[in-house]
Every structure is written in C-alpha cells, then in structure tokens.
Amino acid sequence: MHSLRLPTGLLGSLLLLASTSCKHCNEPEPEIFPPAVYNVSYAQTQCADKWGQARTPQQLETVATAYLAQQGITLASPKATQAAPAAVCNACMCTTGVVLVGQVDASQLAAIQALGFTKL
C-alpha cells in the first residue's frame, strides 16, 4: 500500500506542474519581424475625401495616390472597386460603396491611418 503512494504523489505533482507551466500556450506568438508592407483600405465618401471628389473608381485611384504622394505617402498597387451599394443619405460622410485598397510601407502606416485608411 505504501509503495503506491510515492509514484501516485510523484505523478500527481508532475501533472500539476505541467498544467500550470503553460498558461500562455494558446496565445499567438508575437511577431518577431513585423511585415515590411501593410494592406490598407479606404471607403470613399460622397464629398468628404481630402483629395476631392472622384466620379469613377479609376479617378479615385488617380486623385488619391496623387494626394498621398503630396503628403509623402506612397500607395503601392492601388485598386478601387465598387464593393457595396452607395449609402442612401445626403451627408458628405456617407459612403459611395467604392473602396480603395493598396499597400504602404510600415513606416507610413500611421500617417495613412491618420488620413482615414484602415489596416487590413
């Protein structure tokens, strides 16, 4: 009877140690090297965009990238598409349903986010 207490106690201690030693095992690993470029998007508004109005997705690509270049931001691979129907409202902040996506260097992410772009 006494011969089973030691192995049982030892096994119980090992299981307890194993269950408490990995509290953060299910958390994702932190990025060791953050990405060099980030994908970003911007939902066009009816009349509140900093670069002015653009009537077509192609015009949006042109005027937005030109404005961003003036701000020292390079938007790589810009692509504007009609992603959703336009919002039914008359305010300038209402969206048109056109979304501009592209890529920016990590060093420019904060600046482009300050202009209303979101990181994807």
- How high is the pLDDT of residue 34? 77
Distance between CA 99 and CA 83 in Å, rounded?
6
What pLDDT digit, counting tens, does each position of 42-84 carry? 999 999 999 999 999 999 999 999 999 999 999 999 999 999 9
Paired tokens of 97: 């349903």
10 lies in some domain = no
3 lies in some domain = no
38 and 108 Cβ atoms separated by less than 8 Å: no
Structural domain including 71 reads: 37-119
71 lies in some domain = yes
Paired tokens of 110: 């904060």
Instruction: Name the domain count of the chain.
Output: 1
81 lies in some domain = yes
What is the bridge-based pairing of β-strands 76-82 and 118-119?
A: unpaired
Distance between CA 24 and CA 20 in Å, rounded?
10
User: Nearest CA to 75 among 40, 99, 119?
Assistant: 40
87 lies in some domain = yes
22 lies in some domain = no
Distance between CA 65 and CA 52 in Å, rounded?
12
- Residue 104 burial (CB count, 10 A): 22
94 lies in some domain = yes
20 lies in some domain = no
- How high is the pLDDT of residue 103? 98
What pLDDT digit, counting tens, does each position of 12-37 carry? 555 555 555 555 556 666 667 778 99
